[in-house]
Structure 1
Amino acid sequence: MTDLVHGTIPVRAGDPILPRWWRTLDKASLGCVLGLFGIGLLLGLAASPPLAARNGLEPFHYVERQAFFGAIALVVMLAVSMLEPRQVRRLGVLGFAASFVALLLLPFFGTDFGKGAVRWYSLGFASFQPSEFLKPGFVVLSAWLMAAAHEKNGPPGRLWSFVLAVLVVSLLALQPDFGQAALVLFSWGVLYFVAGAPMTLLMILAGCVAFAGTVAYEKSEHFARRIDGFLSPEVDPRTQLGYATNAIREGGFFGVGVGGGEVKWSLPDAHTDFIIAVAAEEYGLILVVCIIGLYATVVIGSLLRLSRERDPFIRLAGTGLACVFGVQAMINMGVAVRLLPAKGMTLPFVSYGGSSLIAGGIAMGMLLAMTRSRPQGQMGDILGARRRLGADA
């Protein structure tokens, strides 16, 4: 029966863990992530000194912190990528539980750092944003529930995962953090679609989301202000979007030169939410295209590897993690070029932020663990083995 499930590819006896991990790893995705982190440090050298000067700190204070947290994130990513799918599932469930509790306690112990949304815990030496760690755990837990629903006498996993999604989205919307809420809802929709949801039901759910957005626009001044700013035909040059738009236009194809950009002196979030504007101004369209190419390589390469995977949980969890990674990058860059309403969302592995980097390392480690090559063989091998088994019987 083992051959029927896992194929007939031989496994090397006594193969050490590290060589086996390296041989089965998606090295292209790993290389792209390392490239994104390197670009993040490069852009941090340009974007962080103005912020450090405003706060009375050493010029490269934030770059050093980014390198520190990034190193932790990379170590965590490599460690998680060595886990088996069952261990990733346990890590995801425990991580979701801890992050969900932290999210519940935010209104009582959290802080907004003057940004109008209570999203962080202040630890003195650093801050902690539970929603960043919640996303990979939610994807893994939802994938497990939906995969279990396909089993004989399995639980109503789709319904349970939907209830979880509603609870999480509601908590995030109350902060308010509509960007992360939309990302969580999108990840659930992707999982539901891959799990075989009918298009009619997905269209009904899309209509419900549109209705919820209308209600949020009428009831939330924060949400309405961002939508109005996005829909306005004129861009106020004194806003963050105005500064970012001007920086991208000034950069052109080749940029104004290293250190020659001006937007970093005007944008308070130049090192986080609008880091792509710094890249476009100083290095031009060439670097932006390279960044987009790195994200696309990770997402498309991962989805291609997952398309050959027959384990429902691995296929669902990996697809969800890959899509969340790509869509978060798309949202961040879309906001900077005014294709999307303003959302406080970092660019994975490029923007400054300890929570974002470490949570991204966990999520990418899970994705690398899911996309590792496994001895499951080709479908023809399995069919042939079944025919031989039937003939022997």
Structure 2
Amino acid sequence: MTATAGLSALRGLLARPLASYYLLLSSAGLLLMIGLTMVFSATSVMDFAADGNASASLAKQAVFAVVGIVAFWACQRLPASTYRSVGRTVLAVAIGLLLVLNLVLAYGRLTGQEDPRLGPLQAHLNWLYLGPVQLQPSELAKFALVLWGARLIVRKGAALGWWKELATPLFPVVGLLAVLVGYNDLGTMLCLLAIVVGLLWAAGVRSRVFAVLSAIGLAGVGLLIAAASLGAGSGERDATNYRFARLTSFLEDPEKCKLDGCWQIYQGRLAIEHGGWFGVGLGKSSLKWAWLPEAHNDFIFAIIAEELGVVGCTVVLVLFAVLAYSGLRIARRVEDPFRRLAAAAVTTWLVSQAAINIGGVVGLLPITGLPLPFISDGGSALVVTLAAVGMLASFARAEPDAARALHARPPARWVRLVWAPLPPLPGRRRRSAAPPAPRGSVPRSRARREDDQAAPRGARTGRAGTASERRR
């Protein structure tokens, strides 16, 4: 009886109009709080040993968290028409930043030194340094691919079943992003491919397309590794061989290669073994004392396992499961095709990135260097992730039941400043032979009409519907 009552109460909670929004908000917020706590725990010792300030990394991550929360607040207020409009622009900016990053890196490889004419513009691996600001263009490329890809697939509609429609222009753009990103960051390239798979899966593409894409993706990974190895010097070739060893280390016994290419995964397994069921206690990890490389970033899940044990790891996995359920629930319940595709793509992006990171830490997948969303140390990744979750939150508020509930009772004025959606971007003016609108009427743009058509009648008018609808 107790279990039955609990299931009934859970169904009642999930049946509420804003259940998707609150599930998304709570899971993302708890993951962010765990992330800030674990970043402080993983970096406090080394920061104190370096400059005497144990909270240096925490303060930096907290600043990015605040920026990310502002981005979340802004993105949850934007309508779908704005996301449709800015997708191409965001993609162009991301490709431009990736080109600049690769050009600066190529110049450094050719000359073996930094160019003084570049001034404050420098680059290292996946990071682009613009004076005091450092950016990771690959993170912006993920969000750009979600927006642009969802809009493109919606415009193609039923014609998407033909290979010609898939090949133009989706595959060339994805291939360009894979080359610009995958040369230095294989993990992010895999994440981009996961986003494409999520978009096509939500669009209902046939299964054989996914088989062909998987074969092309594996072949592309091999070609990128081979090209990086053949086109590099001796030092770069050593670095490429090291990256290849990291990719294949999960197939080997860490006890036999712990001094060669398996040191990181060996120390990660020691941390998991040391933690046991309940962990050694928060802040009491011993392997973060320079034993485990990238303990604050790629392998922060190992520190969670050591300090919080299996219980702490289970909490993190459950929160990611709730996030995945919320995203897929939003994608299933919204009526607008663009919202459905974008929600499925963002959910696939976050869940696949978390699975790749955790799988690499526990030794089930190759080590790709992807950060754990919301938890790993990293400013660009955190800001873009929170912005993507903000877009999901705006889609959750566009669910039919949620839209009716929000328009049933107008909120207070101070609540509208935080909660009410922002107006859409102004549409392009088109010449028309229709007579001018009467004075006092407000013309609506095409994007606004699309949003109104996606919402139920009660939500568009702010009422419960017409008298005939109420009689029904």
Q: Residues 218 and 162 from structure 1, CA distance in 2 versus in 1: closer, same or farther, beyond 3 angstroms?
A: closer
**Relative to 1, partners in 2 of residues 1:191 and 1:158: Cα closer, same or farther, differing over 3 Å?**
farther
Partner of residue 278, structure 2:
254
Q: Aligned partners of 1:279 and 1:359: how far apart in 2?
A: 23
Q: 2:148 aligns with which of 141, 145, 150?
A: 141
Provide the rounded CA distance (Å) in 2 between the counterparts of 1:173 and 1:292: 27
Partner-residue secondary structure (3-state), 1:347: coil
How high is the TM-score relative to the length of structure 1? Answer: 0.83
- Name the SS of the counterpart of 2:169 in structure 1: helix
SS in structure 2 at match of 1:263 = coil
Give the structure 2 partner of residue 159 of structure 1: 168
Partner of 1:234 in structure 2?
Answer: 254
Conserved 8 A contact 1:149-1:157: no
Q: 1:232 to 1:216 in 2, by over 3 A?
A: farther
Q: 1:353 aligns with which of 373, 378, 382?
A: 378
Q: Does structure 1 residue 303 correspond to structure 2 residue 320?
A: no
Show the counterpart of 1:74.
Answer: 69
SS in 1 for 2:51: coil
Q: CA deviation digits over 1:168-201, x for unaligned, max 9?
A: 0011122x21110111012112212221222122
Q: Distance in 2 between matches of 1:137 and 1:303?
A: 20
CA pair 54-160 structure 1, distance change in 2 beyond 3 A: farther
TM-superposition CA deviations, 1:75-97 (whole Å, max 9, x none): 11121011111112234332222
Which residue of structure 2 lines up, in the alignment, with residue 14 of structure 1? none
* 1:82-126 CA distance string (max 9 Å, x none): 1111112234332222111000110233589xxx96211124534
Between the aligned partners of 1:193 and 1:341, the Cα distance in structure 2 is 25
> Which of these residues, 129, 149, 152, is aligned with residue 136 of structure 2?
129
Superposition pairs of residues 44-59 of structure 1, within 5 angstroms: 44-56=39-51, 58-59=53-54
Aligned length: 355
- 1:79, 1:160 → 2: CA distance? 30
Instruction: Name the SS of the counterpart of 1:270 in structure 2.
Output: coil
Q: For the residues of structure 1 that align with 2:185 and 2:358, how far apart are their CA atoms?
A: 18
> Contact 1:147–1:157 (CA<8 Å) still a contact in 2?
no
Contact 1:51 1:268 in 2 (8 A): no
1:272 correspondence with 2:297: yes
- Which residues in structure 2 correspond to 1:274-353 (within 5 Å)? 274-353=299-378
Q: TM-score, normalised by structure 2?
A: 0.70
Distance 1:66 1:348 in 2: 13
Q: One-letter code of the match for 1:30?
A: L
Aligned residue type for 2:138: S
Q: Give the deviation of 1:377 after TM superposition.
A: 5.2
For residues 71 and 117 of structure 1, what CA distance do their matches in structure 2 show?
Answer: 26
Give deviations 1:224-255, integer Å, cap 9, x for gaps: 22233222123444522111110011101100
Higher relative contact order (CA closer than 8 Å, sequence separation 6+): 1
Retained in 1: the 8 A contact 2:91–2:145? Answer: yes
Relative to 1, partners in 2 of residues 1:206 and 1:157: Cα closer, same or farther, differing over 3 Å? closer
- What residue identity is the alignment partner of 2:74? A
Provide the residue aligned with 2:193 in structure 1.
Answer: 185
Letter in 1 for 2:33: G
User: How far 1:139 sits from its partner (Å)?
Assistant: 1.1
The DSSP-based 3-state class of the residue aligned with 1:349 is coil
Larger radius of gyration: 2
C-alpha separation between the residues in 1 aligned to 2:27 and 2:248? 36
TM superposition shift of 1:216: 4.2
Amino acid at match of 1:192: L
Distance 1:200 1:92, change over 3 A: same
State the alpha-carbon separation in 2 of the partners of residues 248 and 124 from structure 1.
39
**Structure 2: distance between partners of 1:152 and 1:328:** 30
